[in-house]
Structure 1
Amino acid sequence: MITRLLVLAGAAALAASPAPAAPAAPPAGIDAAAVDAAVRQYRDATGLPGAAVAVTRGTEVVHAAGYGHTPAGDPITARTPMAVASVSKSFTALAVMQLVEAGRVELDGPVHRHLPEFTMDDPRAARITVRQLLDQTSGMSDTTFPAFTRRQPGSLREAVAGMRTARLAAAPGTRWEYHNPNFQVAARLVEVVSGLPFDEYLRTRVFAPLGMTDSRTLDVAADLPSSARGHLMVLGRPVALPEPPAFGNGSGGVLSSAHDMAAWLIAQGNQGRGPEGTAVVSPAGLATLHRPSAVSDSYALGWFVEKTGSGAPMIAHSGDLFTSTAYQALLPASGYGVAVMANTGLAYGHASALAERLIALIEGTPAPSAGTPLVVVDAVLLVLAVACAALTGRGVLRSRRWAAGRTVRPWTLVRLLPLLAPLPLLASIHRVVGWLYRGRDVAWIQVAYIYPTFMVLLVTATLGCAAVLVARLVGLGRRGRG
């Protein structure tokens, strides 16, 4: 019975996305009050506990503000540092481009020439170029080098050293595949070529020139400050939890604020010059960063090349941690830039969904649905978990009566095997989820953050089946001795 309940719950963890809204004529512009209203409406509809938002147009900041609170209960302001996750890749790419423009790195030269410590157990790795790291066509893959299920490094040096036994999944330059270690190698290259720790390089060569005084980068999730921690959502309510252990510098370690992300967006849309006119990259270098690769027409160097709901060109990148998310977008046609950081995890997609609303506001199109919190799904899964616990108690109490009516034979033991069915699913659930995510590497603990109530049900079912199995074996043992 418990296993039947588990099977019935399997499809409850997915939700459908609404169709894109029809385009309309764009307005002359938006203001801070309109942004505040859009964020307030979204938070009211979804229960999002906290967010930071920046909207720019040309060299002007339309609005930069914080909303709600951190897990510690502190108010989020425009200067609150929050995690930007994989949005960090655009910062790493710009740092590399600076070294290219300084003549210290060849964009189309082999990585090994600049970073001799980068070796793999595959002779093809010697042909990986710096560009192929940044446009994710290096041939490295989660399928041949797991990003999360391996022992996590503590530094960029350790991250690169750990790749020595890895192989490529494809020849360099032949296939696009999103793989976080590409950018960890790129960040280590910045360290070695510049002679500076990656955090110091970004602080002095990128953040300081742009006035991004709230920004920095870190190595591991355990170093996240309280302002950058986040939540899961259970029954529509935020539950504060620490980020599961992981290494992310270069690929996802930047912390920033709404104030700082506004300066970053201005530089991206203003030929590489920040709010005060300081250049961090040339117009040609910026154009290279935003140009899609020959292998993938939708990924550039640390940026995706996409379209808005109205069909206008957009350069963007999302960032997903398990307790927080981020999103940035540039709209070249209108000159707007949007950045959002939300302190809920990737299972809810609040940063990208809120950014979509703001982009719709900019374009004058109907706002997409905010969606509904998965309260019903959570409630069903938790009710099933309670039912599993109740059935477990009933099964344990009736185990002696069950054993009394049976002769101890091999077939009797075989009939108990279905009670073991949830165990292999529980043990391998991260591999199942990785397969659903098209081969991405997922650690077991991370599944509990993506599907918390389903994992409560699965753990309850597994323990319940084990308890009934043990109770019945004990009952058979007593009967055998009798």
Structure 2
Amino acid sequence: MIRLLLVLAALLPATPAPAHAAAPPDIDGYVRAYLDHTGLPGAAIAVTHNGDVVRVAGYGHDAAGAPITASTRLPIASLSKSMTAFAALQLAETHRLDLDEPVTRYLPDFRLADPRGAKITVRMLLDQTSGMADSAFPDLKLPQPHSLTEAVTRLKDARLASEPGAEFHYHNPNYEVAARIVEVVAGQPFAEYLKTRLFAPLGMTASTTVDTPPAGAEGYVRAFGIELPVSEPDWFTGGSHGVLTTAEDLAKWLRAQQDGGGVLSPASVRSAHTPAPGRDYALGWRVRDGRASHTGDWFSHTAAQVLLPGGYAVAVVANTGLSLDNEAELLAQDLASVLEGGSPEPSLPAGVVADRVLGAPALAAVGLAVLGVRRARKRHWWRLVPPLLPLVPLVFLPELLGWVFAGRRGTYAQVLYVWPGLVVSLGVVALAGLIVAVARARALVSGTRGRDQEESGETRGDAQWASASRRSGS
């Protein structure tokens, strides 16, 4: 019998050996290569797959030189919006909040300068279609509130950029108002609500939310390839972009996007990830090409989260601030590619490349200024104008950058955080032009005085000659 079994086993076709299994994604290797190539000082990442934690880790160092780890608490900026939306959806599930009711039902003191504000619903706040916008109410340039209550009452001067429900405008006050609704309906401070109803049930014990950046919140800005440590400016972050958390806690947050993690029903989670027809912004998530994502920007840190169709999810926090591009987003998108089997190559952020481009005309302007001063001569007055032209973009720089950043206009100090290389380069060019203009003006004035003196001398000579002629004739 045994012999028969052995013969049959020999005759049966052998089960083909499996093809080489795909190697696990080298997440650590790619992140370290990215930091080495770009000079990014530090980052924290969280990667999950279908509810399982794949990797949580920290890399590099913070602005104080301490190593960043998986338990280092960092600001995630506007990733906080998806958490505020979760809180609102929780209240909607218990029928304490109706997303399609007007905001004024829950906040009677919500009054705008535009009467159309009475039409704004809670859902319009969450999907950013309220009609409020930075172009109509430049939030960053205005005095900042100190509480969610003040954040709502200061909107009495706000006008609308469009009819409520008609257009998408990314605007932080939308989520400040939404957070105020949460605390009014729940009957407890917003930070306490998140702690007890969201963070604690999900096990996010290191997470909290703040209305203003804490003392000592420091990151980096880049200028001409140099990372400069800076303190986060004092601005209002409550409800919109105020959550501080860790890579470990972000992994728990990403896992909750699968089925709600026990704090929200799967149906409500799907609604948070599903935009209205014809739009790509849902409730605290932007959905494009099958991916749900969101980015976040502080002036000293950036963050990004991405949900991939295959079940992977990625979150990244980087300690470089708002710039031409979000560096956490760049790294998160590259990690998403790695997880999907791609082989991305780290590339320099656009801001670093732009600084290199800007440096050349700044240096050229210095050389031309030296040459212009040495060659300053008596010329026409209109030659004073061209060297002064660079002062125009320097004066209107915040407004000009508002076009680049979708209407979000800030102060000069904020522009210096966002793009110090541009401010320095444009300042050098403008100063060089001013020096040349002053030199030409001095030459023009000096030439005019010389001509006046020459004409005066000729007049005196003619008078003296005429007088001498008269004496000689007499």
Tell me the TM-score normalized by structure 1.
0.82
Partner of 2:42: 50
1 CA distance for matches of 2:249 and 2:353? 38
Question: Are 2:224 and 2:421, in contact at CA under 8 Å, matched by a contact in 1?
Answer: no
| Alignment match of 1:84 (pick from 72, 76, 82) | 76
Partner of 1:10: none
Question: Are 2:327 and 2:349, in contact at CA under 8 Å, matched by a contact in 1?
Answer: no
Question: Are 1:236 and 1:373, in contact at CA under 8 Å, matched by a contact in 2?
Answer: no
| Alignment match of 1:440 (pick from 408, 420, 439) | 408
Shift of 1:441: 3.0
Cα 1:29–1:106, aligned 2, differ >3 Å: closer, same or farther?
A: farther
Partner of 1:341: 317
1 CA distance for matches of 2:268 and 2:348? 42
Counterpart secondary structure, 2:34: helix
Partner of 2:288: 306
Q: Which amino acid aligns with 2:174?
A: N
Listed one character per residue, the Cα deviations across residues 375-399 of structure 1 (whole Å, up to 9, x for unaligned) are 6653443343234334435545665
Question: Are 1:290 and 1:315, in contact at CA under 8 Å, matched by a contact in 2?
Answer: yes
1 CA distance for matches of 2:303 and 2:384? 48
2 CA distance for matches of 1:439 and 1:373? 22
Partner of 2:343: 367
2 CA distance for matches of 1:156 and 1:396? 55
Listed one character per residue, the Cα deviations across residues 256-282 of structure 1 (whole Å, up to 9, x for unaligned) are 11001011011111x111xxxxx2112
2 CA distance for matches of 1:96 and 1:373? 35
- In our comparison, the structure showing a higher alpha carbon Rg is 2
2 CA distance for matches of 1:40 and 1:122? 51
Question: Are 1:305 and 1:314, in contact at CA under 8 Å, matched by a contact in 2?
Answer: yes
Shift of 1:422: 1.5
Question: Are 1:183 and 1:251, in contact at CA under 8 Å, matched by a contact in 2?
Answer: yes
In structure 1, list runs of 5 or more residues that go unmatched: 1-24, 274-278, 308-312, 407-411
Question: Are 2:180 and 2:190, in contact at CA under 8 Å, matched by a contact in 1?
Answer: yes
Q: Which amino acid aligns with 1:378?
A: D
2 CA distance for matches of 1:196 and 1:378? 47
Shift of 1:143: 1.5
Listed one character per residue, the Cα deviations across residues 330-354 of structure 1 (whole Å, up to 9, x for unaligned) are 23x4322211111122334321121
For structure 1, which segment, 147-156 or 209-218, has the greater mean C-alpha deviation from structure 2 after superposition?
A: 147-156
Listed one character per residue, the Cα deviations across residues 171-191 of structure 1 (whole Å, up to 9, x for unaligned) are 111222222211111111122
1:134 aligns with 2:126: yes
1 CA distance for matches of 2:112 and 2:133? 13
1:430 aligns with 2:430: no
Shift of 1:417: 2.3
2 CA distance for matches of 1:172 and 1:453? 38
Shift of 1:203: 1.6
1 CA distance for matches of 2:447 and 2:61? 60
Moved over 6 A (4+): none
2 CA distance for matches of 1:202 and 1:115? 20
Cα 1:471–1:153, aligned 2, differ >3 Å: closer, same or farther?
A: farther
| Alignment match of 1:272 (pick from 260, 263, 267) | 260
Cα 1:294–1:36, aligned 2, differ >3 Å: closer, same or farther?
A: same
The aligned runs of 1:91-102 (5 Å cut-off) are: 91-102=83-94
Listed one character per residue, the Cα deviations across residues 61-89 of structure 1 (whole Å, up to 9, x for unaligned) are 11111000001101000011112111111
Q: Which amino acid aligns with 2:61?
A: H
The aligned runs of 1:97-108 (5 Å cut-off) are: 97-108=89-100
2 CA distance for matches of 1:168 and 1:103? 29
Query: RMSD over aligned Cα, in angstroms?
Result: 2.4
1:381 aligns with 2:355: no
Partner of 2:251: 262
Question: Are 2:295 and 2:326, in contact at CA under 8 Å, matched by a contact in 1?
Answer: no
Question: Are 1:173 and 1:295, in contact at CA under 8 Å, matched by a contact in 2?
Answer: no
Question: Are 1:110 and 1:129, in contact at CA under 8 Å, matched by a contact in 2?
Answer: yes
Question: Are 2:338 and 2:344, in contact at CA under 8 Å, matched by a contact in 1?
Answer: no
For structure 1, which segment, 72-81 or 205-214, has the greater mean C-alpha deviation from structure 2 after superposition?
A: 205-214
Cα 1:329–1:168, aligned 2, differ >3 Å: closer, same or farther?
A: same
Listed one character per residue, the Cα deviations across residues 399-430 of structure 1 (whole Å, up to 9, x for unaligned) are 5xx2xx35xxxxx4333122321222101122
1 CA distance for matches of 2:237 and 2:416? 20
Counterpart secondary structure, 1:440: coil
Cα 1:28–1:155, aligned 2, differ >3 Å: closer, same or farther?
A: farther
Counterpart secondary structure, 1:315: strand
For structure 1, which segment, 85-94 or 161-170, has the greater mean C-alpha deviation from structure 2 after superposition?
A: 161-170
Partner of 2:59: 67
1:289 aligns with 2:257: no
Q: Which amino acid aligns with 1:60?
A: D
2 CA distance for matches of 1:161 and 1:398? 59
2 CA distance for matches of 1:373 and 1:337? 23
Cα 1:460–1:236, aligned 2, differ >3 Å: closer, same or farther?
A: closer
Shift of 1:445: 3.1
1 CA distance for matches of 2:402 and 2:345? 28
Aligned residues: 429
Q: Which amino acid aligns with 2:300?
A: T
Cα 1:161–1:396, aligned 2, differ >3 Å: closer, same or farther?
A: farther
Cα 1:439–1:373, aligned 2, differ >3 Å: closer, same or farther?
A: closer
Shift of 1:301: 0.4
Listed one character per residue, the Cα deviations across residues 174-231 of structure 1 (whole Å, up to 9, x for unaligned) are 222222211111111122222322222212221122121221122234x3644xx322
Shift of 1:453: 2.0
In structure 2, list runs of 5 or more residues that go unmatched: 1-18, 454-474
Listed one character per residue, the Cα deviations across residues 107-146 of structure 1 (whole Å, up to 9, x for unaligned) are 1111111011211012211111101100111111122111
Q: Percent identity between the aligned chains?
A: 48
The aligned runs of 1:168-207 (5 Å cut-off) are: 168-207=160-199
2 CA distance for matches of 1:377 and 1:330? 30
Cα 1:152–1:463, aligned 2, differ >3 Å: closer, same or farther?
A: farther
1:415 aligns with 2:383: yes
